[in-house]
Structure 1
Amino acid sequence: PRCANCMSGLEKIIEEKLGRWRQQGEAAEYYALRNRGPYKPTVSHELNRFGGQMGPYVDALLDLQTVEYINASPIDNLGEEAPAFIATMCPKRSTFEHFWMMVWETGARVIVNLTHERDKVGSAPADKRERYWPPFDEAMERESRGWAVQVRTLGHESCESVAGLLRYAVELRGSASGGPPPSRGERTRVVVLYWYSRWLDFPASSSIGTRPFYANAENVLHLAVHLQQLLARGEPHWCVCHCSAGVGRTGTLIALLRVLQRLPALQSEAQLDGFVRTTIERMRERRLWMVKTDVEYALLYAATLLWLRRSRDKEFELSWQGDGGDDWGATALAISEALGPAASHLQEVRESGRKRGSSATGLHEGSGEESGGDNAIDNARDVQRYRDASLPAPP
């Protein structure tokens, strides 16, 4: 347990740190973190957003039986006690079905969407988000009838405690062609999809310490505490998390959950700074650009400060207002009871990562170059060839 003096001392240190960053107009320490940009071969593919770039590392792809390629990475190297996340991009129209097949096959029960409501909608290179859950437009509705996994939105509600936070109950129904059921022979499953729609992408460094900065940190903290409690229920299971590219806001939320989990053991500035650094650099072994800006880095400290000031779970309880449609209470209860599926696929993917030589504890040495350059692979179908040949980079 943390002593009161240590807590108050750490609060003061974080306050001073955030004050210094606000005065300087940036969080300079962020740029000392290793491997910010690509330092290993990545997959360049038309199914990726941003013109095929921002692909996952070749040695950290999510292995699926039902989808040949999806831009997704297992973030499973933060410690055995840490929640296991799948970091992925916001689906494009051409990958909606792939996304839901991934959710179905991995047994995920929770999805977190961090795209901003004003992010540009579409699947063109400059677009950032799409609505990939029903109701769809007429063309996508027709297409979705042929999907191996059928998707139906049961209802949704708005959070009264956090502006811009919605959650949806989504029912998945697997067909015989949808691949093996993830656990217990189930053919239907309800997942909960959280959408926090007020987190701006790429705010200016000068925003650190401003009122909007702290308001967002407060909202993200509420979401993180809620998820921490939710993911602690039952057996381990995957949580799917994405923003636009699935690196910046996504990495920040995952890192915050880990910091909150470890915080009682962090007694000094050096311990906190070291743990934040290690967490981010380990995530970057699995996926490029995780925690992409100094503002996101600073948010980790701001949320931690807010937690230290108010570290009682009851202060972070969320209240919800239904949409007046289907019986959300019954649906929410079903979700709560369903959390905690068998962890078999979670363990399979973890073991697969270890067999490929990924370290769950060590940190890679890398140049930290921020340009993909020759590290891009032209076609995802070639990935297995590079794995088998153990080449350091594509020829």
Structure 2
Amino acid sequence: MGTGATCPSVVTQRPCSCPRTQVSSVEQCLDVSLVPWLLWLLEASSSGERKGKMQSTMTCPSLKLSKSKLIRVENFEAYFKKQQADSNCGFAEEYEDLKLVGINQPKYAAELAENRGKNRYNNVLPYDISRVRLSVHTHSADDYINANYMPGYHSKKEFIATQGPLPNTLKDFWRMVWEKNVYAVVMLTKCVEQGRTKCEEYWPSKQAKDYGSITVAMTSEIVLPEWTIRDFTVKNNLTSDSHPLRQFHFTSWPDHGVPDTTDLLINFRYLVRDYMKQSPPESPVLVHCSAGVGRTGTFIAIDRLIYQMENENAVDVYGIVYDLRMHRPLMVQTEDQYVFLNQCVLDIVRSQRDSKVDLIYQNTTAMTIYENLAPVATLGQINGHIA
């Protein structure tokens, strides 16, 4: 894919039908308090006075966007119905407000000539302030990878969001896994979708494989209807140290779309979290799709939302997406994904209210199969696949 490609859904958003989002660019910049200022400018323009001053001040005033829209759980269903009215008009307005969040932050490292070929899409570049820095070997550019630390509910570096590896970034990907002490990888894309390569297959299938100084060997693979679980041993050949890694590969999420049902993603999130309880607390969860923003942002957001509901009895979809976009551009990439997050919250609220049972592992045959297996099986024991 490389440097000339543009992540397509960024430029194919459906136009919002809400009256608020159809106003002109000038109207979007104005509120009632600015009317006197505007009248002064118009008067000055027509009379030719204060020309120099007007040239220096006639810019669109920056509006301070809200950073949070916290909703109590008991009020969320009414809030959802209000925002959903008129073809999701309220959600469309919220999503529109998020489009400019964080975009002026520098991305100098990603734009360096020596790093451009390491970016899958030329419009999805990591912000310098939160980018993951690798160790430097021989050149200063050795520290670059298209990845950002992302805040979770518990810490500012709870996740790493990254793009699907390219052929020329495979070594960097595994170096990041080792250097950042990653024990879990969440993959939310297929390697090829609709005939297009979305991610290089970065893991070995049968025999162990070297990626620079890192050797990776797969020890098990469990193929289920909605996702695949793979276990690996990751070894640093310079020190002979090694640690386990589990890849959670969600295979039923369409590119730029959303899963068929909310319970699929919710169950998958709990599956990942159950495994992370066995991992070192300082180990970040590495999450990627193709660009590392749409599906990746949606997964990280639902994890944070569930924790927020459990601990605060409140939920802030808007605020969480705002926070994610301050750390990596375009997180939660489409309006449909934003609405889907709200739908996930609504379904959890209804499930807990109506049945008093958490929406965990319900109606998921795959979970039953998975729970009956040993935590780590060998390829020989399970023949590589369970259908």
1:177-229 Cα offsets, whole Å, 9 max, x none, are xxxx6xxxx712110001111212224xxxxxxxxx67342211111222233
Deviation at 1:331, TM superposition (A): 1.7
User: Partner of 2:249 in structure 1?
Assistant: 195
Which SS does the other structure have where 2:221 is aligned? strand
**What is aligned with 1:365?**
none
Equivalent pairs: percent with the same residue? 23
| CA contact 2:248–2:272 (8 Å) conserved in 1 | no
Q: Which amino acid aligns with 1:11?
A: E
CA RMSD of aligned residues (A): 3.2
Contact 2:171 2:211 in 1 (8 A): no
Match of 1:58 in 2: 128
Q: How has the CA–CA distance of structure 1 residues 330 and 59 changed in structure 2, closer, same or farther, with 3 Å as cutoff?
A: closer
2:100 match: secondary structure: coil
Gaps spanning 5+ residues in structure 2: where? 1-71, 137-141, 379-387
Task: Name the structure 2 match of 1:219.
Answer: 264
The one-letter amino acid paired with 2:216 is V
Q: Look up the equivalent residue of 1:55 and give its one-letter code.
A: L
What is the aligned length? 287
Deviation at residue 79 of structure 1 after TM alignment: 5.1
* Residue from 203, 215, 223 that aligns with 1:133: 203
1:54 shift after superposition: 1.6
> Is the 1:120–1:128 contact (alpha carbons within 8 Å) kept by the matching residues of 2?
no
Cross-structure match for 2:56: none
Partner SS for 2:323: helix
Residue type at the aligned position of 2:305: V
Checking the alignment, whether the CA contact within 8 Å between 1:199 and 1:216 is kept in structure 2 is: no
Please give the residue correspondences for 1:2-81 in structure 2 after superposition, counting only pairs within 5 Å: 7=73, 9-14=75-80, 16-17=81-82, 19-20=84-85, 22=87, 27-33=92-98, 35-36=100-101, 38-42=103-107, 43-44=110-111, 45-50=116-121, 52-65=122-135, 67-76=142-151, 78=152, 80-81=154-155
Instruction: Map 1:225-244; keep pairs closer than 5 Å.
Output: 225-233=270-278, 235-244=281-290
- CA positional deviation for 1:104: 1.0
Shift of 1:37: 6.9
Which one has more relative contact order, counting CA pairs under 8 Å at least 6 apart?
A: 1
Answer with 1 or 2: which has the greater Rg: 2
> In structure 2, which of residues 306, 309, 323 is the aligned counterpart of residue 282 of structure 1?
323
State the match for 1:155 in structure 2: 220
Q: TM-score, normalised by structure 1?
A: 0.64
Instruction: Please tell me whether the aligned partners of residues 119 and 129 of structure 1 are also in contact (alpha carbons under 8 angstroms).
Output: no
Structure 1 segment 336-355 matched on structure 2, within 5 A: none
Which deviations, in whole Å up to 9, do the C-alpha atoms of 1:11-47 show, x marking residues without a partner? 3443x25742646597332111253573222213111
Q: What amino acid sits opposite 1:72 in the alignment?
A: A
The whole-number CA distance in structure 1 between the counterparts of 2:318 and 2:359 is 29
1:303 counterpart letter in structure 2: C
Please point out which of 326, 329, 337 is paired with 2:374. 329
Q: Which residue does the alignment assign to 1:248?
A: 294
Q: Pick closer, same or farther for the CA change 1:281–1:189 going to 2, 3 Å.
A: same
- Which amino acid is 1:289 matched to? L
Aligned pairs for 1:358-377 (under 5 A) are none
8 Å CA contact 1:252–1:291 kept in 2: the answer is yes
The answer for the alignment partner of 1:292 in structure 2 is 333
| Contact 1:151–1:172, Cα closer than 8 Å, also in 2 | yes
* AA partner of residue 274 (structure 2): Q
- Aligned partner of residue 143 in structure 2, secondary structure: coil
Does structure 1 retain, via aligned residues, the 8 Å contact 2:190–2:198?
A: no
265 and 151 in structure 1: CA distance in 2 versus 1, 3 angstrom threshold:
closer
> Secondary structure at 2:260's aligned position in 1?
helix
CA distance in 2, matches of 1:26, 1:280: 13
Is the 1:30–1:294 contact (alpha carbons within 8 Å) kept by the matching residues of 2? yes
CA distance in 2, matches of 1:258, 1:330: 25
List, as ranges, runs of 4+ consecutive aligned residues in structure 1 with deviation greater than 6 Å. none
From the superposition, tell whether residues 17 and 293 of structure 1 become closer, same or farther in structure 2 (CA, over 3 Å).
farther
Note if contact 1:121-1:130 (Cα within 8 Å) is conserved in structure 2.
no
The one-letter code of the counterpart of 1:90 is G
